[in-house]
């Protein structure tokens, strides 16, 4: 009798704890129930959202390779981003040098297999979000710039399969199985990659594994700006381009750490916000955020706001 009562009490207690937990983290518990829900319907079904169809273009190659030279027209768009003084011929020669050093990234067509991505931005809304297990659970975990995991594992997870960086900040990546995804904004950035590869600043840890250093195709950046953002802003933020990149790499995309924190500030989850003004620089932060919401509404991404 007393054993029965104990069991009953235990079960009641457990239910209570679960209810409280679900109450406080409705989104998270919902997602747990839907773990591994990727059935490849998400982006490949024929009845996808018309808005999405007019934006998504699978034939735009996300990464540079010897196989997808950009046209002079695309180069002329790209060279204006940071006032590149080099001409098209110089650019092409530089790309040729680059791919004598770097292997072209392997073709990674989705091949019918369903791949899931976590895209982890750096917003302060990740503080206290408890998304760690959910982020780590996806096949690819893409982090941006300095987005760190040490000390924040519970909220942001531990795995990093891809780290997106601006070339000059890409030195000393310690992990030897993380893909480095570099966003070049001018020919000089490509020259930096060549130099850094030669001196071992990047790629040293990666030398035994091919294709771990990936360079984003300028044409892809143009596509994000023109098609996804309707040319709003000078050019897209790295965070937004990374999100579109994830849509190209994965059939199911989980988006974390974008937008403001619960106070409405644009802060980083690992540091105190010093600049209290919304810093979107040359980017159209509000417009980009609107597109993310639209993607979430049309169920092309799952967007976790952290609060």
Ligand X SMILES: *[C@@H]1O[C@H](CO)[C@@H](O)[C@H](O)[C@H]1NC(C)=O
**Candidate list 73, 209, 210, 231; residue touching ligand X; CB under 6 A:** 209
* Contact map string, positions 37 to 66, toward ligand X, x by CB under 6 A: --------------------x-xx-----x
> Shortest gap between Cβ of 290 and ligand X (angstroms)?
20
Instruction: CB nearer to ligand X: give 65 or 116.
Output: 65
- Burial, 128: exposed, middle or buried (Cβ in 10 Å; 0-12, 13-18, 19+)? middle
Residue 258 in contact with residue 292, Cβ under 8 Å?
Answer: yes
**Candidate list 67, 80, 146, 231; residue touching ligand X; CB under 6 A:** 67
- Burial, 232: exposed, middle or buried (Cβ in 10 Å; 0-12, 13-18, 19+)? middle
Q: Does 276 bind ligand X (CB under 6 A)?
A: yes
Q: Does 172 bind ligand X (CB under 6 A)?
A: yes
Q: Does 112 bind ligand X (CB under 6 A)?
A: no
Q: Does 168 bind ligand X (CB under 6 A)?
A: no
Query: 281-284, long-range: CB within 8 Å, 24+ apart, which pairs?
Result: 281/237, 282/233, 282/234, 282/235, 283/233, 283/234, 283/235, 283/236, 283/237, 283/240, 284/229, 284/232, 284/233
Spatial separation of the C-alpha atoms in residues 283 and 288, rounded to whole Å: 8
> Shortest gap between Cβ of 274 and ligand X (angstroms)?
8
Q: How many residues in the shown chain lie near ligand X by CB under 6 A?
A: 21
The answer to whether 283 is a known catalytic residue is yes
As annotated, the active-site residues are: 235, 283
* Binding interface with ligand X (CB under 6 A): 57, 59-60, 66-67, 69, 82, 92, 96, 171-172, 176, 208-209, 263-265, 273, 276, 281-282
């Amino acid at each position: 009798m007393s054993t029965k009562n104990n069991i009953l009490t235990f079960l009641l207690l457990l239910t209570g704890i679960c209810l409280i937990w679900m109450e406080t983290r409705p989104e998270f518990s919902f997602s747990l129930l839907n773990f591994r829900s990727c059935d490849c319907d998400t982006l490949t079904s024929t009845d996808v959202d018309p808005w999405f169809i007019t934006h998504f273009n699978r034939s735009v190659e996300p990464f540079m390779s010897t196989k997808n030279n950009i046209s002079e027209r695309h180069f002329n768009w790209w060279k204006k981003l940071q006032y590149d003084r080099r001409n098209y011929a110089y650019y092409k020669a530089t790309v040729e040098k680059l791919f004598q050093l770097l292997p072209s990234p392997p073709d990674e067509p989705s091949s019918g297999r369903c791949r899931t991505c976590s895209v982890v931005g750096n917003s302060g809304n990740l503080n206290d979000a408890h998304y760690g297990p959910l982020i780590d659970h996806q096949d690819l975990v893409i982090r941006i710039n300095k987005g760190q995991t040490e000390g924040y594992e519970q909220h942001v997870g531990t795995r990093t399969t891809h780290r997106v960086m601006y070339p000059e900040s890409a030195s000393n990546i310690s992990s030897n199985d993380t893909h480095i995804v570099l966003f070049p904004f001018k020919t000089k950035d490509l020259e930096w990659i060549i130099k850094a590869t030669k001196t071992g600043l990047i790629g040293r840890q990666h030398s035994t594994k091919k294709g771990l250093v990936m360079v984003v195709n300028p044409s892809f950046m143009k596509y994000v700006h023109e098609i996804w953002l309707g040319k709003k802003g000078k050019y897209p933020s790295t965070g937004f381009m990374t999100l579109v990149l994830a849509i190209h790499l994965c059939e199911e995309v989980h988006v974390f750490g974008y937008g403001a924190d619960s106070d409405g500030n644009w802060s980083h989850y690992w540091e105190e916000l010093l600049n209290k003004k919304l810093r979107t620089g040359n980017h159209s932060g509000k417009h980009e955020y609107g597109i993310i919401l639209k993607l979430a509404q049309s169920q092309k991404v799952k967007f976790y706001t952290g609060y």
